[in-house]
Structure 1
Amino acid sequence: MKILITGAAGFIGMHAALVLLARGEEVVGIDNLNDYYDPNLKLARLERLKPYPNFRFIKLDVADRAGIEALFATEKFERVIHLAAQAGVRYSLINPQAYVESNVVGFTNILEGCRHNAVQHLVYASSSSVYGGNEKMPFSEADSVDHPVSLYAATKKANELMAHTYSHLFGLPTTGLRFFTVYGPWGRPDMALFLFTKAILEGRAIDVFNYGKMQRDFTYVDDIVEGVIRVLDRPAEPDPDFDPQAPNPGTSRAPFRVFNIGNQGPVELMSYIEAIEKALGCKATKNLLPLQPGDVPATSADVSALTAWTGFKPGMKVEEGVKRFVEWYRNYFAV
């Protein structure tokens, strides 16, 4: 198949591309290589993809309407994995326009590209952050997600609504994946694992929000990619059991699906830090702070729908996943 991956220089994008290239797919990757975090890390990820003759990279921003139109018209992709987005909850409080441009305008351009060029299936990244202020655990796709607590979450919820509209009006199969706190080698420098590891090795204190009482369903990147590709291989279909009298937000009469993809085992932040300390062989100095605006105290994924659809259930233990990240970090930065 000929597959487009947006955000191909990103954390998940690079890992997904590697798996698809290894199985012989033709992959075109796009990324705007912005400086939200160090572009050198993005370029280093792309270096890992360059040896594959079935990979091409094009520097392009998803918010570039004319550029995306031309890309789709020229390339005629069969399937699309849309991972490009302005990420991060806290940054959305500082620069909301970046989220509207990338996550709303950019997603519209991708939907239009798929609609007008007979794309067989669009798989896109949503986020556990759409559950917002919900407190019923674990989070289920059947739950209402109408109370986001950050603009980032609101844009991801908007993506799901926009995807449903295109599935309904144009028969475009779309599948949204609500990622739960992804971590692992080549991860983002703005995420806790990267920040904590860097600070501990440099002898600096780490900022521990909500006084360490946060719980997260940490999900290893290989499990995320396995879920993405299994879903890609099974395009969304209309749900024959969909009941408009009691609608399930995760399915539809249209070829539309939304799935959680998480590790089904929330871990306390303090336990996560202990795993980092163990992998590094040194203790952290902790700066305990209150919950930050836009953050939620806990996340937990019900992945039964994903498992029923694909036969897959994430399962990487946090201790092993953190160990693999630390090994990569020490090697990459030679520390």
Structure 2
Amino acid sequence: MTVLVTGAAGFIGFHLVNALLDRGERVVGVDNFIHFYDPALKQARVQALLKRDDFSFHDLDVGDPKALAALFEGYASIDRVLHMAGQPGVRRSITHPWEFIRSNIDGQLAMVEAVRQLPDFKHLVFASSSSVYGDSKEVPFSLDNRADRPRSLYAASKRAAEHIAATYSHLYGIPTTGLRFFTVYGPWGRPDMAALLFIDAVMRGNKLWLFNGGNLKRDFTYIDDIVAGVLAALDRPPAKDREGLPYAIYNLGNHRTVDVRDFVKVVEAACGKPAKVEDAPMQPGDVHVTYADISASTRDLGFMPRTPIEEGIPRTVEWYKRYYGVD
């Protein structure tokens, strides 16, 4: 049988496709190369994947229900989906709100509408975000925490996607798992996120802007740990909950917070260069802390992150030097 991975040209999707192929799965990947960051990086990921056997790729917008339905018709063997596609970016959601509705809400609806038509479908796993917790003061972020006060449209769109998936699970019995990711970083990472932004600034001798004067804490999670968690979720479709829904939500994070200024020190050590730090005000839509309670994902999925930033950041720096040719 076959796994569909949406957002296959993206950071997490790329690593998931590789991991699935490594364990002998047949994989269909889709992406529409949204120009949120340099599309050359996305193209490079896809070109690397296309060198592997048992992988096929389609340039497709998951927000287009007809195109998505046609894809499933062309691959009758698809029985599981890792729906990683979506528009990321807290600050961009303030300036480009319609992109987030199209990708994160229309795309989610198109996906659940498509899979509900499949007679032997096994499991839909989709990407959510720690952003749904807003600027919660209850830490670590537990699944019992409130998630109804988003600080950005990005967060609101991800929470809406969770509700859409839960509704379809209830109506049609679709086995569905949502995964709330916490600040994922690593090789082939998104250049708009802190790890690559900081590494790039230090390596090139540019200013490194620390929002809120660096008085922020993040639950930085290495990509290999995230991949292990996603695959564990994929292999364990949820049992019916107390309301009879085969639906579950989990946090996937490192279960520890790191002060952003301490994170900069680890980046400096890995790069072998000092950072030119400049303080900046808190950004609209941002939050002060992210911190994952992973007790449920450890209990049900065996999820146990193993990579501290002291290991993950040097690996990311080495990839950065090779890919960008900067030393």
- State whether TM-score is above 0.5: yes
**Match in the other structure for 1:323:** 314
Residue deviations 1:105-127, cap 9 Å, x none?
01110111111113210000000
Task: Report the residue type matching 1:37 in the other structure.
Answer: Y
**Match in the other structure for 1:203:** 205
Q: Is the 8 A contact 2:80 2:123 kept in 1?
A: yes
Alpha-carbon distance between aligned partners in 2 of 1:44 and 1:9, rounded to the nearest angstrom: 8
Residue deviations 1:240-280, cap 9 Å, x none?
xx3xxxxxxxxx53000000000001000001110100000
Task: Report the residue type matching 1:254 in the other structure.
Answer: L
Alignment of 1:21 with 2:21, yes or no, is: yes
**Match in the other structure for 1:248:** none
**Match in the other structure for 1:166:** 168
Alignment of 1:308 with 2:299, yes or no, is: yes
Q: Is the 8 A contact 1:207 1:289 kept in 2?
A: yes
Q: 1:289 Cα shift?
A: 1.2
Q: How many residue pairs end up in the alignment? A: 324
Q: Is the 8 A contact 1:103 1:159 kept in 2?
A: yes
Alignment of 1:124 with 2:132, yes or no, is: no
Q: 1:74 Cα shift?
A: 2.2
State TM-score, norm by structure 2: 0.97
**Match in the other structure for 1:276:** 267
Q: 1:144 Cα shift?
A: 1.8
State TM-score, norm by structure 1: 0.95
Q: How does 1:1-335 map to 2 (within 5 A)?
A: 1-76=1-76, 77-118=78-119, 119-239=121-241, 242=242, 252-335=243-326
> Displaced runs of 4+ in structure 1, greater than 2 A?
none
Q: Is the 8 A contact 2:135 2:288 kept in 1?
A: no
**Match in the other structure for 1:246:** none
Task: Report the residue type matching 2:272 in the other structure.
Answer: G
What is the SS of the residue equivalent to 2:116? helix
Q: 1:51 Cα shift?
A: 2.1
**Match in the other structure for 1:249:** none
Q: 1:133 Cα shift?
A: 2.5
Task: Report the residue type matching 2:128 in the other structure.
Answer: S
Q: Is the 8 A contact 2:84 2:127 kept in 1?
A: yes
Residue deviations 1:44-91, cap 9 Å, x none?
111221122200000101111210111122213100000000001000
Q: Is the 8 A contact 1:62 1:110 kept in 2?
A: yes
Q: 1:321 Cα shift?
A: 0.4
What is the SS of the residue equivalent to 2:40? helix
Of stretches 153-162 and 110-119 in structure 1, the one that deviates more from structure 2 is 110-119
- What stretches of structure 1 of length at least 5 have no aligned partner? 243-251
Q: Is the 8 A contact 2:135 2:151 kept in 1?
A: yes
Q: 1:315 Cα shift?
A: 2.1
Identity of aligned residues (%): 50
What is the SS of the residue equivalent to 1:193? helix
